[in-house]
Structure formats: C-alpha cells, structure tokens
Amino acid sequence: MSQGAEESFKKVISHAKEYGFVFQSSEIYDGLSSVYDYGPNGALLKNNIKNYWWRSMVQLNDNVVGIDSAIFMHPDVWRASGHIDAFNDPLIDNKDSKKRYRADVLVEDYAEKLFQKAEKEIKKAALRFGDSFDSELYRKTNTRVLEYEKKAKTILSRFSKALSNNNLSEARQVIIDEKIKCPVSGSSNWTDVRQFNLMFGTKIGSVAEGANDLFLRPETAQGIFVNFLNVFKTSRMKIPFGIAQVGKAFRNEIVARQFIFRMREFEQMEMQFFIMPGSEMKWFDHWKKVRMNWHESLGFNPKNYRYHNHEKLAHYADAAADIEYNFPFGFKELEGIHSRTDFDLKQHSQHSGKKLQVFDPVSNENFTPSVIETSIGLDRMFLSVLSECLKEETLKDGTLRTVLQLPHSLAPNQAAILPLLKKDKLPECAKKIYDQLKFNFQLIFDEKDAIGKRYRRQDAIGTPICITVDHQSLIDNTVTVRDRDSMGQNRVEIKDLSNIIKNTTSVEALLKKV
Ligand code: GAP
C-alpha cells in the first residue's frame, strides 16, 4: 500500500471509531481479532445499506422473494454442499518471521503489483506525450507494459491451475520461482502450502443426550437451497425466480486483516436466481449488469469499480465474476456473481433423498433448475461506502472540514435539530419540532457546544440536513435549514420541514436509478 493510501485507510478506521461507526469487538479485553461491533451511527448506516439492497432485490422485482433462514443447519447440509471437503484456504508460513499467509493472496498481491507497474508506465507516457496520447494503443503495443501484464497473467493462471489440480507443491513452487518475499522478514524461506478448512464447528444439545456436531454457516446461500421447494410451493413463483436473504456468516479466516474487509463473523446479502438449464450465460450477464448498476446508482466514482472474471472457480461454479471496488488498499472483491449450475440442488437431492425439482409444462418433464447467485458482503459494502464518502475539504477561510458525503438516503440520521442556544426557550421549541418529526424520521437532537462545532459534528457523521432553531423561530415559526454539502442555509417554515426532509432523504430517488 502506498503511503498516501495507508494514511487515508488509517483515517477511515479512526473516523469509524471516533464517530461511533465501528468498534473492535470486546475492546476492554484487548479485542477479539477480526471481529467488530457497529456503534450507534454504524448500526444505522448498516441498516440503511441493508434496506437499500433488500428493497432493490425484493421490492423492485416481482420475481424475487425474501427469506430469513437459521444460522444452524443440519450437518449434512455442509457435506452435500461440498464445504466439508472443499471450503479451504491454501496457507503458507514464512519460517523466518513465523507469519502465516494465504498463499493465493500472496500471489494475487504480487501479480497486482505487476499490473500496477504496467499502469505506471502508461501514466508516465501520458505525461510525456500530452493530449495526443492514446493509452489503449500504448497498452497494446508498448513492450514493457505487455511484459508486465503477460507475466502477471501467467503467474495467476499457473497458480490457479495448481490449486485446481490440488497440486500444493506446484503452488509453493510458483511462490519460490517468483521469489515472492514475506512482507515482514523480507525472506523467501517458505514452508509447504497446506489446505485449511474455514468452517467454525460447534455443538448442539447436551452431552448426556448425545450432542451433535454442527457448523456455523460459512455462507447464507445454503439456507436458500434447502428451502427451495418450500418457497417454490408457497410463494406462487415460477422459473425464473429468485430468493434473497441477508444474514450472518462465519469463516475462520486465518489471515484476517484490513479492518472490516475480512472478518470472522460478517454479514452477507445473497440472492439465488433459479433458471431453466441452458439459460445460464444469459442470466449471468443480466445479473452482472444489474448489480453493477446498483453500485453505480449510489453516484460514487465509476472508476472505483471494475469486473474481475475468475480463472479459478469455486467447486460449485461454471462461471464467476467479481465486482471489485478500489478500496484504500487497492481493487478488491466487493461482490461475487456466480453461475452455480444445478450443483447445489442436485447435491441436496442426493444427500436428503428429497427430489428438488420442478415440472416443466412445455417438455412435460421434471428438471433441476440452474442457479445464478449474487453475493455481497454487507460489511465490505459498508467499508466501501465509508472509504468513498469520507472527505477532507479546505474551506475558503483556510480551515479544514471533515465531511462524510454519504448518499442522503443512506445517512445514519436524516436530520439534526439544533437549538442555537441552550436558553431563551430555544431548546423547548426545538424539542417540540423533534417530537413532531420523530415518528417519520431518524433524527438527532443536540444542544451542546457552539453551533459551528455542532455543524461540523453532523458533517462528520454525514447528516444531510441541520435544522437550527433561533430567536426568530419563536416569532414567526421559521427555522434555518443547512445543507451538508454546500453548507448553504435557507430560512423555511416549520410546517414545511417534513416535506423537505422526505424529499432530501427518501430512498425512492436511489431506487429509481437501479
Ligand atoms: N455464497 C457465495 C459466497 O459466499 P464468496 O465470494 O465466498 O461467495 C461472497 O463471498 C461475498 O461475501 C464476498 O464478495 C465478500 O463481499 C463477502 N465476504 C466473504 N468473506 C468475507 C469475510 N471474511 N469478511 C467480510 N466479508 C466477506
């Protein structure tokens, strides 16, 4: 990570803590690694992101329904899904630093550096040649750029082939041949690569009754697959249709890092779309576009998103692409779109002995639907939103302002009600307004400190509107409304506030862009 990127990432993390968005779990006991809690503003922001996703999926699509399945599932689910045998990470240790790494992450980071070197060459040339520079032509013809890109792609594909063939010594050899070094010790003194299963085990029932071994679900998707027939029979859906859900997932990430990017307990927002076999690529492309659109609807910099098509496929997929976001530490997976074929339904049919099929009136036959999955990490989405929206502005008077420029409808609080002074009946008037509006809006009431300081605090937590009650309010029932982004202020009538907040912060405008 460059020094600038590291600085901006540190700012995101300290801002998240200082303003009650994210805390380390069990902090007073020195914390639990890679587990985090969401504070008052974090919980509100997270709920708003979740709500935006849910409404985009379930409310906007008449062929998608939502469920909420349990975290505990029958242990055979994980045998059928392949997670017991194949849900592994390849790990490698550096003998000098004694640090443990995911071998795939080491190789991907190394390849990413080569891609970045190619980008640097292109940027340098653009500066040299000025306006007439054709970057795409340069990318296709410059030998140094071509060499960097070719090398990166060759390494990735060699490594991915080694893993697909479960050839762990070849996977290690890639790291040795490329002289990939441990970021801590700087040496290439590596152990063998070993596979490590990521599922957390637990038990259900007392020992006397004969306890059963269970797993904490590593993805929410299996709760959808095992309920496929229940939902199909009860919701009057027909193929193609989708089942969506939001819920916790657990993975024993050995090399957990990067704040809430890679956690051991996290939340997923997943949707399985059940389709006719043979239409996989049509729906795969469809959902790739729809999901990218959803991200773009937030109005963030489009250059911070890109697709990454997978070379190495999960055990259940025949095609997969990530939507990557340019986090402060570089482009990384934010969401996965997977063509899961009929793998899961067939596996569950086999292991449960229940036929998970539907009837096709055209061919007069039963068939097992194929599945396109969209799967996004809620916490990763949260991190991308914080990283994108946290801005530092230098104002005209030279002072610095920290502002969280969240899309208005995602902001933790829709408006802040602020009496100008804590006297002269201004707090009472402000409280009355708060009490009228609180039934429809998430509000903050704050009467402490000077008004300028309070505005800055609301800017820092992304509140789109500040409503200030002053002496004039007592005379003519008007207040000032301050806009977070322009800092402009307008005098408006108290009776119009409800409409103003609604128009500024309603999620409708966002949903219409999806
Ligand atoms: N059902 C498919 C599935 O689980 P995945 O690519 O392993 O696919 C989907 O995970 C999404 O879940 C990822 O794109 C990421 O956003 C999120 N995710 C996965 N592991 C995570 C972790 N350890 N911490 C936070 N988010 C994670």
Tell me which residue has tokens 């609807």: 297
Q: pLDDT tens-digit profile of 147-170?
A: 999 999 999 999 989 988 889 999
Write the burial class of residue 394 (CB in 10 Å: 0-12 exposed, 13-18 middle, 19+ buried). exposed
Among residues of the chain, what percentage have pLDDT more than 70?
Answer: 98
Q: Is it the case that residue 211 has pLDDT exceeding 80?
A: no
Pocket residue to mutate for ligand 1, from 88, 224, 268, 374, most atoms within 8 A of Cβ = 268
Pocket residue to mutate for ligand 1, from 22, 257, 375, most atoms within 8 A of Cβ = 375
Tell me the C-alpha distance between 314 and 164, whole Å: 9
Q: pLDDT tens-digit profile of 333-342?
A: 999 999 999 9
Nearest one of 408, 416, 403 to 468, comparing CA atoms: 416
Contacts of 496 (CB under 8 A, 6+ apart): none
pLDDT for 209 equals: 62
Q: How many CB atoms sit inside 10 A of residue 379's CB?
A: 22
Q: pLDDT tens-digit profile of 265-318?
A: 999 999 999 999 999 999 999 999 999 999 999 999 999 999 999 877 877 789
**Stretch 96-101: mean pLDDT, rounded?**
93
pLDDT for 210 equals: 59
Q: Report the pocket of ligand 1 as residue ranges, CB < 6 Å.
A: 219, 221, 251, 253, 262-263, 266, 268, 270, 333-336, 373, 375-377, 379-380
Across the chain, mean pLDDT equals 95
Q: Whose CA is nearest to atom 16 of ligand 1?
A: 377
Nearest one of 500, 482, 488, 297 to 407, comparing CA atoms: 297
Output the CA–CA distances (angstroms, integers) from residue 86 to 108, 277, 284, 308, in the order listed. Answer: 20, 25, 24, 22
The atom of ligand 1 lying closest to the CA of 221 is: 1
pLDDT for 254 equals: 80
| ∠ CA 267-390-460, rounded to 5° | 100
- Answer yes or no: are the C-beta atoms of 323 and 329 closer than 8 Å: no
pLDDT for 314 equals: 76
Q: Is it the case that residue 78 has pLDDT exceeding 70?
A: yes
Q: pLDDT tens-digit profile of 381-399?
A: 999 999 999 999 999 999 9
pLDDT for 241 equals: 98
Strands 400-404 and 390-394, by their bridges, are antiparallel
Q: Whose CA is nearest to atom 15 of ligand 1?
A: 377
Helices (H), 65-195: 76-81, 83-86, 103-129, 135-141, 143-164, 168-177
Nearest one of 252, 230, 234, 232 to 242, comparing CA atoms: 232
Whole-number Å distance, alpha carbon 377 to ligand 1 midpoint, is: 5
Whole-number Å distance, alpha carbon 92 to ligand 1 midpoint, is: 21
pLDDT for 164 equals: 82
The atom of ligand 1 lying closest to the CA of 270 is: 1
Largest CA-CA distance found in the chain, in angstroms, rounded: 81
Q: How many CB atoms sit inside 10 A of residue 377's CB?
A: 23
Whole-number Å distance, alpha carbon 423 to ligand 1 midpoint, is: 51
Pocket residue to mutate for ligand 1, from 258, 333, 340, most atoms within 8 A of Cβ = 333
Output the CA–CA distances (angstroms, integers) from residue 32 to 22, 29, 219, in the order listed. Answer: 14, 8, 21
Q: Facing residues of 374 across strands?
A: 271, 337
Q: Which two tokens stand for residue 178?
A: 């490329």
pTM of the model: 0.89
Write the burial class of residue 285 (CB in 10 Å: 0-12 exposed, 13-18 middle, 19+ buried). middle
Q: Whose CA is nearest to atom 21 of ligand 1?
A: 262
pLDDT for 6 equals: 86
Q: pLDDT tens-digit profile of 411-427?
A: 999 999 999 999 999 99
Q: pLDDT tens-digit profile of 4-38?
A: 788 999 999 999 999 999 999 999 999 999 999 99
pLDDT for 165 equals: 87
Least confident of 152-161, 199-208, 336-345, 404-413: 199-208
Q: How many CB atoms sit inside 10 A of residue 299's CB?
A: 11
The atom of ligand 1 lying closest to the CA of 381 is: 16
Q: Which two tokens stand for residue 138?
A: 């340069």
Which letter does DSSP use for residue 463 in this model? -
Pocket residue to mutate for ligand 1, from 216, 374, 380, most atoms within 8 A of Cβ = 380
